[in-house]
Amino acid sequence: MTNMKKLMMFAVAGLLAPAAAHAEIRTATVSKIMAAPTNDTAPVTGTPARLRRTDSEQAGHEQATFAMFGDGKTGLYFDMATEINGQPANHRVQLGLVPFTLVKNTDGSIAATANMTAAKFVTNNDGDEYRNSHNPEAFALPGGQLIAVAYNYQPQGTNDTKRYMQVFNSAGVAVMPQTLYFAKNNDDCSMDMDKASSSVADLGGGKYRIVSWNGCNGNGSDDGWTVIKELTCDAAATSCTLKAIADVSVCPREERSHGTAQILSTDPNTAIVAWTEGNTQPQRDGTWMAAINVGAGQNGANAQSRILWKKQIDGRKDIDGIRTYSMRAMMTPVLSVDATGKVATSDTFIWRSGDLRGDNNGNNGKGGTYYRSQMAVIKANKDGMSYVAPLTDVAPKLLGLDGTHLGMAPALFGTTDHLVPGITFLSGSHTGGGYSAQVRAVTFDAATNTFADGGMYGIAPYDRHLYPNYLGNNPGNQGRNFSNGKMIANPFASAAGDDAYLMLFATNGKDPADMTKPELKLSAYITVLPIAQTPKAVTPDPTPTDPGTGSGSSTPNPDPGAGGNDSGSALGGCSAGGSTGGLATFLLIGLAAFIRRRR
């Protein structure tokens, strides 16, 4: 056996998943939604050619987001696009929409199929410094008939970015055109946690409560806000209107709060929010959590009486002569399922923040170095918060987890008779992509209040830095990409052993085939990753003969290798279902090169 074969066996069995398991996180299926633009190419320099830093050139496809309709099979994909079906965007970049459908392949894997005949630009903005549709976030409205998308736009000739929203039906038709969602005078709104800043509650009668985190860091008050809106749609879902209810300044020292908001399923009048505070880069005032009254109460701007409580979760540490600050607060609810199998949230949250030593803009650096990765489980409601599991540095358990531009999404793992809550972390590439991005599964054991490593899994490429940075508004300094991950029930599950729940990830990155062509910009992808199954049927062996008596045994003896019960909380294993095509190969080649360099 060659060393390369041994290395590939090590990579598949040891890196991409834990070794022994019952239930599996299975092989991902990668679908390219849109290829890199063919007419809009990036500026390059030198021989051989390399990407050249260029102000406001745009990355091709960037900041992907998506949402699913109520049928569980169809959805809408959005990103900042410079070209769709060969047609350039007006004013360099606009918000692109592509309807997609999940399909079941002959091997049982689930994949996303794009409807490119219906793909289109859904904005036609003329923004200052081409800020036409930045930081989009898509989410489905309860009932599943409509999908809303919010994004940032700074009109030409102004110096104030504002947040806008549109609502679309399943045909991709806008039932609410571009409508102002949120703005503060001269304050550049808004920023949030990666594609997870908003939450929606159904008020009945076609009314929906939307609560979002909106960080505003311009030349005004520079605050992080919890924003409460009411969306009303007619019975036929052909028209919607947006109404402002209140906004609350929760973070008075805003720089890059990147917050999130979650309405409690147990109390739709309360939302829990989390953020990072501080007016410096990097921020130095810690990570925070608060509860906000989002029901009846003070309305209008600066409705501060709606703050129910506010607490700092973590802050500065001096350990071994190194000073770090708690940053990048990330929070997501612990998931469960109801009696019908529908996914439900709770008033318990998984928390993640990083202990960071900052070095922003130093030696062309950005963001500094993460020394520890803190995780906790927190129960929070209108009355206060308490720790289910205290803050713990999980970095030693999750070796290789990178904190830079990390995407986090809630998930359930295992089998439907023994589902284990947890999260997925999505780490991208700092050099464009061109190989599989990594999803890290982390499970939470409620019996012992501990986190466990569920393994690493390859998905579509994800460029978290290079093209957005080099071709962004401040090339070489700022410009970051976003990913988007959501868990859904498998709409095709029908038999024992089928994948019951799937993680879907939307990313933008370099196609492996484009890695030697720096002029080709980023492509758009949706990855389907099976994460939980229905248990396989227990198949007893034929009644064996007792060698001592010649009589048959009365106790069935399930054969684990021939379809035994899959229940259990362990994760991992390998599956032939689905395919990442050449992406897994690129990951393995990259791993081989890395190990060779270390030698």
**R_g (Cα) of the chain, nearest Å:** 24
pLDDT value at position 403?
A: 83
Confidence of residue 204 (pLDDT cuts 50, 70, 90): very high
Dihedral of CA atoms 563, 567, 572, 573 in degrees, nearest 10, equals -10
* Residue range 391-417: mean pLDDT, rounded: 92
Does 17 have pLDDT greater than 70?
no
Give the helix, strand, coil percentages of the chain, each rounded to 5: 10, 45, 45
Strands (E) in 39-188, as ranges, are 44-45, 50-51, 61-68, 74-81, 83-84, 87-88, 94-104, 110-114, 120-121, 134-140, 147-153, 162-168, 174-182
**CA atoms within 13 Å, Cβ hemisphere of 352:** 28
| pLDDT tens digits along 275-333 | 999 988 888 999 999 999 999 999 999 999 999 999 999 999 999 999 999 999 999 99
Q: What is the pTM of this model?
A: 0.87
Which residues, including other chains, have CB under 8 Å from residue 112's CB and lie 6 or more apart? 31, 33, 100, 101, 102, 103, 504, 526, 528
In the CATH scheme, what is the homologous superfamily, with its name and number, of domain 19-540+557-598? YVTN repeat-like/Quinoprotein amine dehydrogenase (2.130.10.10)
- Looking at per-residue pLDDT, the higher value among 193 and 512 belongs to 512
Q: What is the rounded CA–CA span in Å between residue 524 and residue 81?
A: 9
Cβ atoms of 274 and 292 closer than 8 Å: no
What are the contacts of 360-364 at 24+ separation with CB within 8 A? 360/281, 360/282, 361/281, 361/477, 364/476, 364/477
| pLDDT tens digits along 367-384 | 578 899 999 999 999 999
Q: What is the rounded CA–CA span in Å between residue 524 and residue 68?
A: 17
pLDDT value at position 476?
A: 84
pLDDT value at position 187?
A: 85
pLDDT value at position 340?
A: 82
Q: What is the rounded CA–CA span in Å between residue 196 and residue 310?
A: 20
Q: What is the rounded CA–CA span in Å between residue 585 and residue 363?
A: 34
- Looking at per-residue pLDDT, the higher value among 145 and 575 belongs to 145
Does 422 have pLDDT greater than 90?
yes
Average pLDDT along the chain:
86
pLDDT value at position 186?
A: 80
- Point out the least confidently predicted range of 477-491, 566-580, 583-597: 566-580
pLDDT value at position 543?
A: 58
Query: Crossing angle for the helix pair 3-10 and 582-598, nearest 10 degrees?
Result: 110
Does 360 have pLDDT greater than 90?
no
Domain ranges of the chain: 19-540+557-598
- Looking at per-residue pLDDT, the higher value among 191 and 532 belongs to 532
Does 244 have pLDDT greater than 80?
yes
pLDDT value at position 367?
A: 58
Cβ atoms of 534 and 415 closer than 8 Å: yes
Confidence of residue 20 (pLDDT cuts 50, 70, 90): very low
